[in-house]
Each structure stands twice: as C-alpha cells, then as structure tokens.
Structure 1
Amino acid sequence: MTSNNKTMIPLAFIGIMFFAIGFALGINSLLVPVLQSSLQISNAASYLIIAATFIPFLLFGYPAGLTIKAIGYKKTMSVSFFIFAVAFYLFILSANGGSFTLFLLASFVSGAGNAYLQASVNPYITILGPLESAAKRISIMGICNKLAWPIPSIFIVWLIGKDVNQIGISDLEYPFIIIILAFVILGIMAFFAPLPEVKAEGEDAPADNAADESNSSGKTSVFQFPHLLLGCIALFLYVGVETVSLGTLVDYANSIGLANAANYAWIAPIGIVIGYICGIIFIPRYISQATALKICSIIAIIGSVLVVVTPSDISIYFVSLMALGCSLMWPALWPLAIADLGRFTKTGSSLLIMAMFGGAVIPTVYGWLKDACGPQQAYWLCLPCFLFILYYGMYGCKIRK
C-alpha cells in the first residue's frame, strides 16, 4: 500500500466521525426552540441543553486521555458512539415523559460521548501527518463536521412533516430511534476500521532524554507550557462563540419572526465551510497557521459587530461572516497549542478537550443576555472573545518560556 493510501483511508474514516460529531451537536439547534414552546421554559433555561452537552468536556477530558492511553485511539472512538446511542435513548425517554431534567441528563450523556470522540479524533488527525500541515487536514475534517450541523434540524423537520414552531417533544421519538441505529452501526464500524495507532514526535521520550528535540525537554508538568495554557483559554472562547453562531440560528430566526426558521440553520455552516476550503488551499503553502488565525479573528470581529448593528432581518446573514471567521480557528488553534509538547502531547490534548467547556458557558450567557436585552444585542458577547483569540494568534502562541 502506498504512503498516500495509508493516509487517505484513515482520513476517510475520521471524516465520517467528524460528521457524527457535528450531527450530534446540531441536534441542539432544534431542541432549544422545541423545548421553549413545548415546556414553556425561558431562553436561559433552554440554552442549558447546550451547556449540558459541553459540561462533560470539562469532566471527561482528562479521563478520555487516560482511556486513549489504555486502549488506543480506535477503540476509544468506538466506545464514544455507543455512549451516543445511550444518550439518544435517554432523549426518547425524556420526550415521552416531558421531563426537562431528563433532557438535560440525555444532553450530558451525549456530551460525554462527544468528549471521548473529540479527545481521540482531534489529536489523531493532528499527528497523522506533518504538524505544519495539520490545519489543512483539520480543515478537511471541519467540512465534514460543519456540514452535519444543520442536517438534524432539516432531517427531523422533513421526517415529521412540521415546521419548527409546530414540533412538540412527543414528535421526536421516531427520528431518535433512527439516530440510535446509526450510532450503533458507527460504533461497530469504528471498532473494525483500519486506523493505525499514531504517536507525536517525542511522545515516548523519557523526561531526562537529552536527545528530545521538542520543547518538553526538562519539563516536569504540562502546566509549564504557556502557549498551551493560553491556547486553552483561546479554545474555550472559540468553542463558545462558534457554538453560539451555529446553535442559535434557528432560535434567532424564530425569535424575530422569520418563516421556515429551520432553513436558516445553513447560514453559519456555509460560512465555515468556505473558510475551511480556503484553509485547504492556502495552509501551509501560502500562509502559516498563526497567520490564518489572525486573519480569521479580524473577520469574526467585523462579523460580530455587524450582527448587532444592522436590521434584524439582515443581521442574521452576518452570522455567516462571524462563522467564516470561526472556520480556521480550530484548525489553527489546536496544532499551535500542542506544538512542542513531546511526551506531554496526550495530556495537553486532554486539557484542550476540557477547554471545550466554553461551549457550555458562552451559549448559556447568551441565553441570559437574550432574556435581558433581546436576541440581537446578546451577540455583543462574541466581540471580546474574538479579541482574545486575535491576541493569541499575534502573541500568545509564541510564548514558549
């Protein structure tokens, strides 16, 4: 088998897994407005569904890293899909019982599955090839991921035959049964997938190894890498604002009275996919990962301002500009943050997975702001987040001592 084929086959399987991640997270875009109307809960309460999906990243990020060390990347991926299947069974019980508490539990279990899957696929795709081209590989995976976000809303609306504002929680059982079967099949497929185990440069080097050329030589703790710790903060903010851009569109369209609200779920993924395509073309041949991060941060800053200062029926389209800015943040942040970690690579990756807890905090704050000052003005929340990410791309990622 050629070297190219050895890379392409794992890329194809990992692409399917990234699609599954996007699909599982995209469910929230539909659940938020459905729960608001069916259970008569506040905006802040409904956005706890998204929070419950991301809290497990904080709790299970490190255990996921230990699991990977114990059983390897591939088996951890397989386990994650079976956790997803359990989560969607709990969603069915939640819908049948009309229990918001059980919905939160189902979202939490789904988040646990996502934490294990993210902890395995992201470092895997990063170290599958040269680090300087990691953003290109992650961009390819990102296209698979982000195109999946709007599909649950559109699929369920099509399957049930009702618009979002007409769907009740009792309508969700049949679609969720289909989703459970799909995740069980993915779990079996992942277990038998031809995915070789991979290791980062210097990962097996002992602590006192003088030949270790990574920045980990002489280090005794993962917390001695400032560029990693600042990267965790940047990733925390990025995951939060990207989740806002992807997860609030259907609710925002519904809130401002736009017809066929589910169709607006495509706005942000289109912007992100355009950015990913640019990443595939330009990184690293024409621009570096750090330069891509700076450019995207500036675009996102402009988009976040335009979302709140333009008329509401127009402003929703500027979410795509905000999403375009988000597009290359993940592909750039991840390799910049784990660069030169050597034997601390798996532990550093676990910290980055834990930083995805931002997807719980930022959307919840958005929900509170929406209750307090309206859905459009709540998007001001994104501006300071993008400003910090710009700082990391300009200075933070360069701090090595």
Structure 2
Amino acid sequence: MTHEKKNYAMPLAFVGMMFFAIGFALGINSYLIPVLKGSLEISSGVSYFIIAVTFLPFLIFGYPASMTIKAMGYKRTMALSFLMFAIAFGLFIPAAHQESFSLFLVACFISGAANAYLQASVNPYVTILGPLESAAKRISIMGICNKLAWPVAPLFLTWIIGKNIKDTVIADLFIPFYIIIGVFILLGIISLLAPLPEVKAVGEDEDNADACPYAANKTSIFQFPHLLLGCLALFFYVGAETVALSSLVDYATYLNLPYADLYAWIAPIGLVIGYICGIVLIPRYLNQATALKICSVIAILGSLLVVLVSDSLSIWFISLIALGCSLMWPALWPLAMADLGKFTKAGSSLLIMAMAGPVIILPLLGFLTDNYGMQNAYWICLPCFIYILYYALTGHKIRTK
C-alpha cells in the first residue's frame, strides 16, 4: 500500500478543499437563519426551513447524482457541483433585493442540490481511495476540513459586512455573495484541472464481481440490510449533527449572549478534537465499529446535559454532542458500504439520500423552540443517538446469505 499513500496524497488534498467548500456553503445558510428572522419577522420554525430545504435535494438527487458520476466520472461531477453552487449564490442576490423568503428557499434548494452532487462524489471517492479498514481515518481528515468551514462562513460574512449579526439586514448580503460566487466558479475550474484519478471499489466491475463474494449473487441493493439500517443511522446522524452546527448562532442570539456569531465555533471544536482522535487511533488502536459505540455514548451524554443544565451553561455542552458526532460519519459510511461490490455506486446513492435527515429534524427543532423554548427543543437529538448506538452494537453486523 505504500504506492497508494504516495499517489493519493495530492488527490486527498484537493478533495479536502472540496470538503471545506461544502462546510462553508452550509455555514452561510446557518448565518442566514437569525438574519432572516430579524429582517422578515418569521418564526424559528419557519426560519429553519432554510436548512431543511438545503438538505431536501439529497433525497431527490441522490440517485441521479450516482448516475451522473457513472456517466461523467467523479472529477467532472465535482466541477458540475461547483457551477451549481455559483448559480445558487447568484440567486441569493435577487432574493436579498426583493427580501423574498420564498426566493431564498429556492436558492437554498439549488445550493442543496449542488451539495448533494458534491457529497455523492467526494464521500465514496475518499472511502474507496484506499483500504476500507482505514477509510475512517481518511474521512476524519476530510471532516476537519469540512467542519472548520462552518464557523468560518459566519465570521467571513461578519468581517465583510462589518456589523454584528444582530445588526445585519438583508441588504448587507450583496457584496459577500458576489465574492462567494467568484470563489465557487474558481473551485469548479480547479477541480477540473486537479490530478484526481478515477477509482472503483473492490468487485465494482461486473467482470471482477467475484472479488466481493458477498455481493456477487445479489440482485438488488435492498438485499443488504446492513446498508439499509446504516441509511437510517445516517439519516438521524446528519439531522442531529446539523442541529448542533446550525443552531449555535441562533441559540446564542436566543440567550441574548454578546457576539453571537463567535459561538459558531463551539461545535466545530468538539468535532475537530474527535476527528484528530480518529486520525491517530483508527485503525491501529480502534476499529470503526468501536469508535461508533464510544461516540454514540458521548453524544447521548451531551444531549442530556444540554437540556438538563442551566440555559447559560447548556450551549457549551453542544460541544459534547459535536464530539460524539465526530467519528459517526467516518465510521457509518464504511460500515454501511462494506461488501457492496458491484452495488457500490447504488449504495452510495442511498446513503446520499439518507442525508436528508435535517429536512425533518431541523423544522421540528424550530417548532419545538416556538412552543417549548430552544433549550427543550434539543431533546430531539436523544432518540437519534440511541438508534445510532443500536447500529454500532448490532445493526452493522446484520447480513443476508
């Protein structure tokens, strides 16, 4: 495997840049929540549709994205996704001019479609770029790039606009979005020129199907129960993690804390600490299933503390939820994709569709906030992590003959 490490260091660097772009785009959407709530006088439940609509395309475009990858390859699909991002942020400008919430939702939907295509490209790419048993290590490195970008987005917007988020209005968003459009067009060009070799999973080629005996005689992707249960685990994980990442600025604003945008760092710090542990420990000292068990327990503990301690302290325990979430993505993805063989791309499309968790969980968080207060709304995370613990203990082991 020494030649793989030598050859794949550069591709991983470019893909890391793409993971950063994904996090940056989602961080912008989380910044919009308190801005639109203040400018358009909408409720929390309605404002969280911004994030929900961003994740809805995962459900719609998960399968088409896999077909696009099959037709165009990973690299061209990545470039296409950046063009879609540029179009989405171009739509944010007339939405801001007209102060139209519905047009903001359309822009967020297109941004989500771009995200779906990019995620469908980069996640399986990183998973199969090297040995499956060390996939969690590679994905952990990508996770650092992704999660550090979430808080960078609100800080970037605050710096460009020159105002505290509480004082920001929709009209302040024009110049930042022009800059962001240019950046995403540039990223699309870079991705086309990047040295990214096309890769395939073991047994993915029909003429090499015997390399993966478990998948060789299967006729449908629905004959892989560990994948289907993993999709549900991923659904809950993405929903709960997005709660932790996207609600921090809003929660800090809700608690009347000064410099609310700075609280966006609480969750990413927890995530990055966990990712570093994954890079160091997996697979040499810790396998992916064990990492998922430990992280599930940490996330359950964090969920309980957020809702049970005083509200002034509770926001800090969101970092514990984030720490628990850190290795869930790196562990869930390879556990669910194990032994798919010729169904690898189809399985990847199902997992991409499962990332639509925030479509349901984020609006529920908002409506619970409107009716029971934002601290109590965080109860929504607990059942998500309990199911993920089940998958870590039992679900990923279920196989059909």
Q: Distance in 2 between matches of 1:92 and 1:363?
A: 25
Whether contact under 8 Å (1:27, 1:153) holds in the other structure is: yes
What corresponds to 2:132 in structure 1?
131
Question: TM-score under structure 1 normalisation?
Answer: 0.98
The one-character-per-residue Cα deviations of 1:12-38 (angstroms, maximum 9, x if unpaired) are 000000000000011122100000000
Corresponding residue of 2:121: 120
Contact 1:149 1:246 in 2 (8 A): yes
Q: Confirm or deny: 8 A CA contact 2:4 2:130 kept in the other structure.
A: no
Further displaced range: 22-31 or 105-114 = 22-31
Q: Which residue of 2 aligns with 1:391?
A: 390
The one-letter amino acid paired with 1:241 is A
SS of match in other structure, 1:215: helix
Contact 2:234–2:332 (8 Å) recurs in 1 = yes
Distance 1:201 1:93 in 2: 47
**CA deviations over 1:78-101 (Å, ceiling 9, x no partner):** 000000000000011100110000
Residue 5 of structure 2 aligns with which residue?
Answer: 4
Corresponding residue number in structure 1 for 2:297: 298
What is the rounded CA distance, in whole Å, between the counterparts of 2:242 and 2:191 in structure 1?
Answer: 26
1:152-178 Cα deviation digits (max 9, x unpaired): 111111111111110001100100100
Cα offset for 1:5? 2.8
CA distance in 1, matches of 2:59, 2:5: 36
User: Contact 1:205/1:212 (CA < 8 Å) preserved in 2?
Assistant: no
Unaligned runs of at least 5 residues, structure 1 = none
How many residues in Structure 1 have an aligned counterpart in Structure 2?
399
Q: How does 1:218-367 map to 2 (within 5 A)?
A: 218-367=217-366
For 2:4 and 2:335, how far apart are their aligned partners in 1? Answer: 25
Shift of 1:206: 5.3
Distance between the aligned counterparts of 2:63 and 2:18, measured in 1?
20
Output the CA distance in 2 between the equivalents of 1:144 and 1:161: 26
Structure 2 CA distance for partners of 1:131 and 1:2, relative to 1, 3 Å: closer
What is the letter of the counterpart of residue 87 of structure 1?
A
Partner Cα separation in structure 1 for residue 341 and residue 76 of structure 2: 23
Which residue of structure 1 aligns with residue 145 of structure 2?
144
Q: SS state of the match for residue 201, structure 1?
A: coil
Q: Could you tell me which amino acid in structure 2 is paired with residue 352 of structure 1?
A: L
Name the counterpart of 2:164: 163
Partner of 1:18: 19
Amino acid at match of 1:78: A
Q: Does the Cα contact within 8 Å between 1:214 and 1:341 map onto a contact in 2?
A: no
Counterpart residue identity of residue 346, structure 1: K
What does the per-residue CA deviation read over 1:302-332, in whole Å, with 9 as the maximum and x for residues that have no partner?
Answer: 0000000111111000000000000000000
Question: Aligned partners of 1:152 and 1:19: how far apart in 2?
Answer: 10
Alignment of 1:66 with 2:67, yes or no, is: yes
**Structure 2-normalised TM-score?**
0.98
Amino acid of the structure 1 residue aligned with 2:60: L
Query: How far apart in 1 are the matches of 2:75 and 2:217?
Result: 31
- After superposition, what is the alpha-carbon deviation per residue over 1:111-165, rounded to whole angstroms, capped at 9, x for unaligned? 0000000000000000000000000000000000000001111111111111111
Matched residues, percent identical? 65
Give the conservation status (yes or no) of the 8 Å contact 1:205–1:342: no
Aligned Cα root-mean-square deviation (Å)? 1.1
> Structure 2: which amino acid aligns with 1:178?
I
Q: State the SS of the aligned residue for 1:216.
A: helix
Tell me the alpha carbon deviations over residues 171-190 of structure 1, each in whole angstroms, 9 at most, x when there is no partner: 00100100000000000000
Secondary structure in 2 matching 1:45: helix
Task: Give 3-state SS (helix, strand or coil) of 2:206's partner.
Answer: coil
Q: CA deviation at 1:2?
A: 5.2
Deviations along 1:264-308, whole A, 9 cap, x unmatched? 000000000000000000000001000000000000000000000
Tell me the SS of whatever aligns to 1:220: coil
Give the equivalent residue in structure 2 for 1:106. Answer: 107
Q: Distance in 1 between matches of 2:100 and 2:4?
A: 52
Match of 1:185 in 2: 186
Cα distance in 2 for residues equivalent to 1:124 and 1:33: 35
What is the alpha-carbon distance in structure 2 between the residues aligned to residue 4 and residue 310 of structure 1? 46
- Counterpart-to-counterpart distance in 1, 2:30 and 2:211: 46
Instruction: Give 1:217 deviation, angstroms.
Output: 1.7
- In structure 2, what is the Cα distance between the partners aligned to 1:213 and 1:28? 41
Pair 235,3 (structure 1): closer, same or farther in 2 beyond 3 Å: closer
**Equivalent AA in structure 2 for residue 155 of structure 1:** F
Give 1:82's aligned residue. 83
